[in-house]
Amino acid sequence: MSFVPGQPVTAVVERVEIQKLRQGENLILGFSIGGGIDQDPGQNPFSEDKSDKGIYVTRISPKGPADLAGLKIGDKIMQVNGWDMTMVTHDQARKKLTKKKEDVVRLLVTRKSLEEAVKHSKGCYPKP
Amino acid sequence: MDTESTHSGYSYHSSRSGRSNRHGDRSRERHKASSSKDSSRSERSVVINPPDTPSQDSPDDNWGETTTAVTGTSELSVSQEEVVGLGKGIQDRTQGFRRYLPLAVGSCVGLLVLATPLVFLLLPAVMWPDRLQVCGAACEGLFLSISFKLLILLVAVWALFLRPSRACLPRVCVYRAFLITLTLLLTMSYWLFYGVRILDAQDEDYHGIVQFAVSLVDSQLFVHYLAVVLLELRQLQPCYSVCVIRSTDGETRHYNIGQLSIQRAALSILEYYYRDFPLHNPALLSASKHRAAKHLAGLKVYNVDAGAQPSNGNQSRAMVTAAGKRKDSAHNELYYEEADYERRVRKRRARLVVAVEEAFTHVRRMKKEDERATPSDIMDVREAALAIFPSMARALQKYLRTTRRQHCHSMESIQKHLAFCLVNNMSPKAFLEAYLVPGPTLQYGPERWMADQWTLVSEASVTSGIKQGTEFLLKCLDFSLAITIKSIPYIRLTEEYIDPKSHKFLLLLQSETSV
């Protein structure tokens, strides 16, 4: 998940679809994000590489829409509804997630355990 | 032998008072191996003798007669003091000649230098006064100038060359020899010129002769200026960094010195040594020597093949591997010994601090309203010191014994220090500082230095200048100082201008937004 300038970023991602919940006047997703290219990456407790300025999930409200959809704390969000989240400011990320006209968001998230799961599965089955 | 170990440390004082005190010390040193026993014995029967007790002299006088010869390799540092003292007596008589030689040479050359212009001026007036031209106003003005310049030259020569030197160096200073040669050369060439062109020709132009004498004095002043630069100014700018390591306990100091010859550098380093290095204490080194002795004593190498001589290399390698395989717990012993020692020292220190603070509360300065107090209560500082001393003496003695510094302080010196602290209104902590920390060597009297006669051991010639990588040794009887020299690096300093308006900042937060 480290970013080398000029090289494409590859990651194993999981698709998570979250239905927004209507609470009074607002549509909420039930999690909090941190990070962004205008933030200090060294203070991110979830990133492996402390220069990673991506958007991370920092908190999930229990039994909220995100929790039910399978989002985990510490996930890095790579795309939201097709919009890239790896090189955005904190505010841009927030805006992409809280559009009033959309009531469902499709995220591509990545986490360390996904990589390991893929590696395991590659190793278990012999190549035909 | 048994009775002498109970003598307290305070009966030891200056070397003048005699051998009896050294005998007490020697027996104490010999009991170093059973030092704990010794200290416990002395704890039970502490005797604080006032100085000059006549009782010590009689039983010890005979013991001095049967003492065997002292060797330089023993660690009985007290015996070496006697050797140094003997040596000093013999050398002082021969040093007198060497010490005054530079002074004699300097004054001779100085007199020659001062007299020459005067002689130049007087000889024509004496030898052919009738043919001499009358000295006009300009010429007499030159007389004035000569007299002042000679006065300045007199003072300058005295200041630079004729003052008593503070040390005796092994070889003649090259620059001084060069300067004296240059001065003599200058004077001789002027004399030659004078003799040939003026005396032989009997020149009548007195104005010219006076100008000639003035030019001589000017040249001598310039040579003196050169002397000031070579002898005084050249060594002021630091060029080299010197590392001084004492061989016995590894005390290391670093100094910056300028361009000097090796012997002059050694002299400055010795002056720094007396100021900075804590007093050399042979009593602190015995522990490591015992450990080393024990380590070697456990190994014996036998030659089984009679006749076949194994090479020395094989033998020593066998010893080293045997030592490695042998299971010894010397490190364990050292660890617990040191921890134990630390604890003991801290305990004694705590008792000492409390005793001294208590003692200081018993005495205070007399104020106005105390003038009505009974005269017997009013004491001068010496009596006051003597009055409060016994209450802290025991704690102080025990502490000094534990840290093995009891031979550095005599009872008299402690009382004197106490009186000094009382006069200057010092706190108990200020009084104690002299005893808690080993001070620089110069603080103690010369009989405690164990460092009187220094020998410079150097591979390069001692009058050559110091360079990067020079190493030499300053040896005295008990220990030596190893000196290495490195040059101070060439510093390249560049400047960078920063506009004060360019200091702007961004706040980087890790904000968390809930969506």
Please indicate whether, in this complex, the C-beta atoms of A40 and B509 are within 8 angstroms of each other.
yes
Mean pLDDT, range B98-117, rounded to an integer: 87
Q: Which of B281, B319, B286, B280 is nearest to B303 (CA)?
A: B319
Cα nearest neighbour of B512 on chain A: A34
Give the percent of chain B with pLDDT over 90.
40
Query: What is the number of other CB atoms lying within 10 angstroms of the CB of residue B395?
Result: 20
With vertex at residue B511, the alpha carbon angle to CA B508 and CA B515, rounded to the nearest 5 degrees, is 150
Gyration radius of chain B over CA positions: 35
Q: Is B496 on the interface with A (CB under 8 A)?
A: no
Decide if pLDDT at B152 tops 50: yes
Tell me the pLDDT tens digit for each residue of A67-89: 999 999 999 999 999 999 999 99
| A chain contacts of residue B507, beta-carbon cutoff 8 Å | none
Decide if pLDDT at B226 tops 70: yes
Tell the burial category of A127 from Cβ atoms under 10 Å away from its Cβ (0-12, 13-18, 19+): exposed
Instruction: Give the mean pLDDT of chain B.
Output: 79
Contact between residue B222 and residue B148 where contact means Cβ atoms under 8 Å apart: no
Residue of B505, B508, B511 best to disrupt the A interface, most CBs of A under 10 A: B511
Q: How far is the C-alpha of B66 from the C-alpha of B69, rounded, in Å?
A: 9
Q: What is the pLDDT of residue B319?
A: 63
Q: Which of B466, B500, B501 is nearest to B485 (CA)?
A: B466
Mean pLDDT, range A32-46, rounded to an integer: 89
Q: How far is the C-alpha of B84 from the C-alpha of A22, rounded, in Å?
A: 101
Tell me the pLDDT tens digit for each residue of A43-65: 888 888 888 899 999 999 999 99
Q: How far is the C-alpha of A128 from the C-alpha of B242, rounded, in Å?
A: 75
Mean pLDDT, range B149-153, rounded to an integer: 94
Decide if pLDDT at B89 tops 70: no
Secondary structure (H, E, C), B419-448: HHHHHCCCCHHHHHHHHHCCCEHHHCCHHH
Please indicate whether, in this complex, the C-beta atoms of B515 and A44 are within 8 angstroms of each other.
no
Give B359 or A125, the one with higher predicted confidence.
Answer: B359
Which of A118-122, B112-116, B373-377: highest mean pLDDT?
A: B112-116
How close does chain B come to A118, measured CA to CA in Å?
30
Q: What is the pLDDT of residue B242?
A: 96
Mean pLDDT, range B377-406, rounded to an integer: 89
Please indicate whether, in this complex, the C-beta atoms of A28 and B514 are within 8 angstroms of each other.
yes
Q: What is the pLDDT of residue A107?
A: 94
Decide if pLDDT at B4 tops 80: no
DSSP letters spanning B161-217: HSSPPS---SS--HHHHHHHHHHHHHHHHHHHHIIIIIIITT---HHHHHHHHHHHH
Q: What is the pLDDT of residue A92?
A: 93
Q: What is the pLDDT of residue B125?
A: 85
Which of B96-100, B309-313, B494-498: highest mean pLDDT?
A: B494-498
Q: What is the pLDDT of residue B273?
A: 92
Mean pLDDT, range B370-375, rounded to an integer: 71
Mean pLDDT, range B83-93, rounded to an integer: 49
Distance of alpha carbon B413 from its chain centroid, rounded? 21
Helix (H) or strand (E) segment spanning residue A57: strand A55-60
User: What band does B308 get if pLDDT is binned at 50, 70 and 90?
Assistant: low
Considering only the beta carbons, identify the residue of B508, B509, B514 that sits closest to A32: B514
Mean pLDDT, range B490-494, rounded to an integer: 94
Distance of alpha carbon B16 from its chain centroid, rounded? 22
Decide if pLDDT at B488 tops 90: yes
Contact between residue A77 and residue A44 where contact means Cβ atoms under 8 Å apart: no
Considering only the beta carbons, identify the residue of A34, A39, A59 that sits closest to B508: A39
Q: How far is the C-alpha of A42 from the C-alpha of B508, rounded, in Å?
A: 10
Helix (H) or strand (E) segment spanning residue B276: helix B262-276
Q: Which of B148, B149, B143 is nearest to B125 (CA)?
A: B143
Tell me the pLDDT tens digit for each residue of B134-149: 888 888 899 999 999 9
Q: Is B514 on the interface with A (CB under 8 A)?
A: yes
Q: What is the pLDDT of residue B199?
A: 83
Q: Which of B210, B190, B197 is nearest to B138 (CA)?
A: B210
Give B344 or B326, the one with higher predicted confidence.
Answer: B344
